């Protein structure tokens, strides 16, 4: 359980969300990505392959982070959404705001 950060060979920050992304831990994700932004990082991938569920606070945190990353000239991509998680993005039309890949490898391929 938790939110873990690694760095891809191509320079992208890869964040893995193990467990849930909800109102109780969304700030942890925001602090992690905002801290990396402040350190000069601009390419981010958040992988949800090990995520159980996401609530609207978690979705809101992703929207907020995406806005800030874009404002600073960077890009935030998502990967690893199973059918249920993907349905949340489709229901809320957030699938139109994010670049979503099936796997981290696909997301990082042309990053």
Partner 1 sequence: MHPAEVRVQLKMPSEVACIEQTVSLVARHCLSGTAANESLRFRLQVALAEALANAVVCGNQEDPAKSVQVDAELRIDRITVQVTDEGDGFDPEQVPEPVLPEHIADTCGRGLFLIRKLVDDVHFNEQGNSICMTLRRR
Q: What is the binding site for partner 1 (CB under 8 A)?
A: 19-20, 22-24, 52-57, 59-61, 63-64, 67, 84, 88, 91-94, 96-97
Count other C-beta atoms under 10 Å from residue 36's C-beta.
Answer: 19
Query: Rounded to whole angstroms, what are the CA distances from 80 to 33, 40, 51, 72?
Result: 18, 25, 9, 25
**Cα separation, 10 vs 64, whole angstroms:** 25
Nearer to partner 1, 9 or 91 (CB): 91
Tell how far CA 1 is from the center of its chain: 16
Nearer to partner 1, 39 or 83 (CB): 83
Nearer to partner 1, 5 or 20 (CB): 20
Nearer to partner 1, 66 or 79 (CB): 66
Question: Contact, 62 vs 46, CB < 8 A?
Answer: yes
* Least CB distance to partner 1 at residue 85 (A): 8
* Least CB distance to partner 1 at residue 24 (A): 5
């Amino acid at each position: 359980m938790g939110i873990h950060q690694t760095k891809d060979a191509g320079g992208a920050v890869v964040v893995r969300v193990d467990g849930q992304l909800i109102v109780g831990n969304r700030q942890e994700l925001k602090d992690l990505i905002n801290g990396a932004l402040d350190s000069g990082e601009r390419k981010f991938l958040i992988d949800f392959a090990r995520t159980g569920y996401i609530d609207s606070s978690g979705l809101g945190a992703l929207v907020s982070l995406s806005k800030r990353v874009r404002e600073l000239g960077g890009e935030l991509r998502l990967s690893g959404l199973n059918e249920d998680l993907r349905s949340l993005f489709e229901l809320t039309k957030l699938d139109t705001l994010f670049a979503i890949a099936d796997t981290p490898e696909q997301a990082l391929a042309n990053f």
